[in-house]
Amino acid sequence: MSTKMMMSSIAAAAATTVLCCTAQAAPATAPKAEPHMQKVLDALGSLGGKPIETLTPQEARKQPTPADAVKKVLTDMGKSTAPEAGVTVKDMMIAGPLGDFPIHIFTPEGKGPFPVMVYYHGGGFVIADTKVYEASPRALAKMAKAVIVAVDYHQAPEHKFPAAPNDAYAAYTWVLKNAQSINGDATRVAVGGESAGGNLATVVSMMARDKKEPMPVHQLLVYPVVNDDMETPSYKKNAAAKPLNKPMMAWFFKHYGGDPKNAYALPMKATTLKGLPSATVIAAEIDPLLSEGKAYADRLKKDGVAVVYKSYPGVAHEFFGMGAVVPAAKDAEQFAADALTKAFQKPAR
């Protein structure tokens, strides 16, 4: 082979290598939001929030929220931002391992006693509260004809793991003992939550099982945080998604301080999920947590737990509770309420 031909071959091989490596290095394309969801994401972007992962927890708690974005969309549409009627709310304090913490009792119209769900809000164990997530318990109370007891557990980093699950469990046992006082039925108590709250709901179920205490009749897990594997397909595809992305999840984990080997921090690490209550798992396509939610549903099923799983295309993490402006969210809320209604019809475990 001549020197000229050899050089051409080397150049061609190098070009092929570059093309190959470039193709491998290219980030996965994030799914496209459907129009209603995109309107909320655009509204959130217009509110001027800073990247959570660049802030202190105290600063992060002051940033615009997806709930603020929903209100902006409603305002821009000329619609009311007032809470939907048909549900009353009572605020009170209950005792926990670290002292008193707030709960908020959402009660539907009617006579009762009603079934009850203990609900845990999202926010990565660090930010947000029931007020930010109020649309979710309000919708579920009305749709499922149930009392929803929403819990404002102690947050990290001021109160690291296991503060949140311990408060979550304290709220659950409080409901079992005091259901009658809130017009609830202690034999029909479920748990549920979104994101970090979904984690707490399934952890409370695990704690009740392990302590041999009365079990929830159902667990509603909306895009739950159940693992710390940040190399899953959905973490890669949605690494820069809004409103939740990979850097934010790393920030949440850092501040939460959960033991990565402890199932009460990361339920996917449990030796077994046998004996947990039936579950409804709801997922969003534009969400780093999509893969682990599906994996957790599969794991529950493998361990003998009755599971219903539903993933919604074109919507992002935090879509649940946006029923006022995102039709898929309204569908998800009804799907969750129907699952709760079905579970409440069965005798307690």
Average of per-residue pLDDT across 195-199? 99
Domain ranges of the chain: 31-344
pLDDT digits (tens, 9 = 90+) for 134-151: 999 999 999 999 999 999
Q: Check whether 86 has a pLDDT greater than 50.
A: yes
Catalytic residue among 136, 195, 278, 291: 195
Average of per-residue pLDDT across 193-206? 99
Query: What is the pLDDT at residue 30?
Result: 76
The packing angle between helices 163-178 and 196-210, to 10°, is 70
Average of per-residue pLDDT across 59-73? 98
**Which is more confident, 310 or 27?**
310
Query: What is the pLDDT at residue 25?
Result: 41
3 state SS for the chain: CCHHHHHHHHHHHHHHHHHHHHHHHCCCCCCCCCHHHHHHHHHHHHCCCCCHHHCCHHHHCCCCCHHHHHHHHHHHCCCCCCCCCCEEEEEEEECCCCCCEEEEEEEECCCCCEEEEEEECCCCCCCCCCCCCCHHHHHHHHHHCCEEEEECCCCCCCCCCCHHHHHHHHHHHHHHHHHHHHCEEEEEEEEEEECHHHHHHHHHHHHHHHCCCCCCCCEEEECCCCCCCCCCHHHHHCCCCCCCCHHHHHHHHHHHCCCCCCCCCCHHHCCCCCCCCCEEEEEEEECCCHHHHHHHHHHHHHCCCCEEEEEEEEEECCCCCCCCCCHHHHHHHHHHHHHHHHHHCCCCC
pLDDT digits (tens, 9 = 90+) for 213-272: 999 999 999 999 999 999 999 999 999 999 999 999 999 999 999 999 999 999 999 999
Query: What is the pLDDT at residue 84?
Result: 85
Average of per-residue pLDDT across 311-324? 98
Angle at 268 between CA 139 and CA 117, to 5 degrees: 25
Query: What is the pLDDT at residue 210?
Result: 98
195 is catalytic: yes
* Other C-beta atoms lying within 10 Å of the C-beta of residue 112: 16
Query: What is the pLDDT at residue 182?
Result: 98
Query: What is the pLDDT at residue 29?
Result: 75
129 is catalytic: no
Catalytic residue among 121, 154, 278, 287: 287
Q: Check whether 21 has a pLDDT greater than 80.
A: no
pLDDT digits (tens, 9 = 90+) for 97-119: 999 999 999 999 999 999 999 99
Catalytic residue among 104, 218, 255, 317: 317
Q: Check whether 22 has a pLDDT greater than 80.
A: no
CATH of domain 31-344: 3.40.50.1820
Average of per-residue pLDDT across 147-171? 98
287 is catalytic: yes
